[in-house]
Chains A and B, each alone.
Chain A
Amino acid sequence: MRRITVQEADFDATAELAALSAGAGGIASFIGVVRGNVGGKVLAALRLEHYPGMTEKALERLADAAAVRWALTGCTIIHRIGRLTPGQNIVLVATASQHRAAALEATAYLIDQLKTAAPFWKAEEFADGTQAWVAARESDTNAADAWTEARAENLPPDEGRL
Chain B
Amino acid sequence: MRILYFAWLREKIGLGEETLIPPPNVTTPRGLIAWLSARGANYAAGFANEALIRCAVDQEFCALDTPFGAAAEIAFFPPVTGG
Q: Which residues of A contact B (CB under 8 A)?
A: 32, 48-51, 53-54, 57, 79, 90-91, 111, 114-123, 133-136, 140
The residue in B6, B56, B75 that gathers the most chain A C-beta atoms within 10 A of its C-beta is B6
Q: Which residues of B contact A (CB under 8 A)?
A: 4, 6-8, 56, 59-61, 75, 77-83
* 18 further interface pairs, Cβ-Cβ under 8 Å (given A115-B82, A121-B81, A136-B80): A49-B6, A49-B7, A50-B82, A51-B6, A51-B59, A54-B59, A91-B83, A111-B83, A115-B80, A118-B82, A121-B6, A121-B77, A123-B7, A133-B7, A134-B81, A136-B78, A136-B79, A136-B81
Partner of B78, one of A50, A111, A114, A121: A121
B82 to A, closest residue via Cβ: A120
Residues of A within 8 A of B83 (CB): 32, 79, 90-91, 111, 114-115, 118, 120, 140
Residues of B within 8 A of A133 (CB): 7-8, 78, 81
